Amino acid sequence: MGPLAQPLRHSGSQPPDDAPTSRLEMSGINVAFGGVAALTDVSLTVEPGQVHGLIGPNGAGKTTLFNVACGLVRPSAGRITWRGQELRRLKPAQLTGLGIARTLQGVGLFPLMTVLENVMVGAHRHAKAGFFSALFALPTSDKDEHRLRERAMHALTELDAEQYAGRYPGSLPYPVQKRVALARALVAEPDLLLLDEPASGLSEEEMHELGDLVRSLSGQMSVLLVEHHMDLVMRVCDRITVLDSGIQIAAGTPAEVQADPAVTEAYLGDEVEAGPTTASTPEGGATRV
């Protein structure tokens, strides 16, 4: 197991074996951009402690649904329920307080903060000091500051990125930036982790480690995994929802989805024809079906 595969251990105040109990339900979601339907009556439930995959061809609406879950896109119809409570007018700034963390498609680190500072922002949920004091090293106490740094360094170490703590994100290779973004999401010890294409730009080996990491997280939190690398999705997900042109065309276990002709036709056709061994995708990743 590589360093990415080591689970981030709960530390301090939380009991180590607290089973996740938080369910995310999205139902009847509709989104239109300029009159063009991006999502039509889509429903998806991320069960507590499960890894839920969201797949589909480019333009299927995956990121749009992800953004609905983040509060970045407001649906014209539908409900989002988190831990049994409807989230109306959800805003991204509320996520951390709700126990939800995300990484965006791309990286999304703050370019003018060091790697360590970026991760410290993610740890804010556990810090007693305010947001700005945490950022600008004006903590209410040195102890808060110290604990925040320790937690952030711990998360970086778990993701084998501690050696980059003092660097600025823009100076680092893309896969390292992605690990830092993941450390920033995990340091808040969320109950729900939202990942949009975490494997893009990663090597085969890094992708495998990412898969092990996501699997190891599932005992501690729920994960919504938006991904187009089939082998990763099939390996790590408990359940999968398939979108095509903003419509849900299939849902079920990896085996069920794989066997669904609608999925084969819409999304997996070429890759299935490529045979059971690993084939290259245009994105440079590998796809096995």
Can you tell me which of 24, 29, 50, 62 binds ligand ADP, judged by CB under 6 A?
A: 62
- Determine if 285 is a binding residue for ligand ADP (CB under 6 A): no
What separation in angstroms does the CA of 238 have from each of 42, 53, 79, 255?
Answer: 19, 8, 23, 10
- Determine if 63 is a binding residue for Mg ion (CB under 5 A): yes
Contacts with Mg ion in 93-122 (CB under 5 A)? none
- Determine if 201 is a binding residue for ligand ADP (CB under 6 A): no
Cα angle 27-33-38, degrees, rounded to a multiple of 5 = 45
The closest alpha carbon to 236, from 209, 260, 261, belongs to 209
The closest alpha carbon to 113, from 125, 131, 128, belongs to 131
What is the x/- site pattern for ligand ADP, positions 35-54, by CB under 6 A? ---x----------------
- Determine if 61 is a binding residue for ligand ADP (CB under 6 A): yes
* Burial group, residue 33, by CB count within 10 angstroms (0-12, 13-18, 19+): exposed
Instruction: Report the amino acid identity of residue 7.
Output: P
b/e 152-165 (16+ beta carbons within 10 angstroms → b): bbbbbbbbbbbebb
CB of 5 to ligand ADP, least distance (A): 27
| Residue 222 binding target from ligand ADP, Mg ion, none, CB below 5 to 8 Å by type | none
Can you tell me which of 20, 44, 46, 63 binds ligand ADP, judged by CB under 6 A?
A: 63
| Residue 38 binding target from ligand ADP, Mg ion, none, CB below 5 to 8 Å by type | ligand ADP
Stretch that binds ligand ADP, among 17-25, 57-65, 118-126, 253-261 (CB under 6 A): 57-65
Distance between CA atoms of residues 100 and 221, nearest Å: 10
Can you tell me which of 42, 44, 51, 60 binds ligand ADP, judged by CB under 6 A?
A: 60
CB of 63 to ligand ADP, least distance (A): 3
> Please, how many CA atoms are within 13 Å of residue 151, restricted to the half-sphere of its CB?
27
Can you tell me which of 2, 59, 173, 275 binds ligand ADP, judged by CB under 6 A?
A: 59
CB of 190 to ligand ADP, least distance (A): 22
What is the x/- site pattern for Mg ion, positions 206-245, by CB under 5 A? ----------------------------------------
**DSSP element (H, E) containing 196:** strand 192-196
Distance between CA atoms of residues 127 and 146, nearest Å: 10
The closest alpha carbon to 249, from 259, 260, 239, belongs to 260
Binding site for ligand ADP (CB under 6 A): 33, 38, 56, 58-64
